Amino acid sequence: MQKNKSLVLGITGGIAAYKSAELVRLLVKANIDVQVVMTEAACQFITPVTMQALSGRPVFIGMWDSSIDNGMPHIELSREADAILIAPASAEFIAKLVHGRADDLLSTLCLARDCPLLVAPAMNKQMWGNAATQRNITQLKTDGVSILGPDSGDQACGEIGLGRMLEAEELLGAVNAHFTPKLLTGKRVLVTAGATLEMIDPVRAITNLSSGKMGYAIAQAASDMGAEVTLISGETAIEPPKNINNISTKNADAMYQAVMKNIAKQHIFISVAAVADYSPAKPSMQKIKKQESSLTLELKPNKDILAEVASLPNAPFCVGFAAESENLLEYAEVKRKAKKLPLIVANLAADAMGSDENSVTLLDKNGVHPIKRAPKIEIARSILQHVAKMV
Catalytic residues: 157
CA distance 59 to 11: 11
Enclosing H/E stretch for 164 = strand 160-164
- Helices of type H across the chain: 17-29, 48-55, 73-79, 91-99, 105-111, 125-129, 131-142, 168-179, 213-224, 252-262, 305-310, 328-338, 349-352, 376-390
CA distance 92 to 74: 19
Look up residue 23 and give its DSSP letter. Answer: H
C-alpha of 160 from chain center: 27
The rounded radius of gyration (Å) of the Cα atoms in the chain is: 25
Q: Measured between alpha carbons, how far is residue 194 from residues 64, 146, 210, 256 in Å?
A: 54, 32, 6, 13
HEC per residue, 311-380:
CCCCCCEEEEEEEECCCHHHHHHHHHHHCCCCEEEEEEHHHHCCCCEEEEEEEECCEEEEEEEEEHHHHH
Q: How many alpha carbons fall within 13 Å on the CB side of residue 373? A: 7
DSSP 172-187: HHHHHHHHS--TTTT-
CA distance 126 to 11: 21
**Taking a C-beta distance cutoff of 8 angstroms, is the pair 50, 21 a contact?**
yes
Angle between helices 17-29 and 48-55 in degrees, nearest 10? 10
Q: From the CB of residue 166, how many other CB atoms can be counted at a distance below 10 Å? A: 22
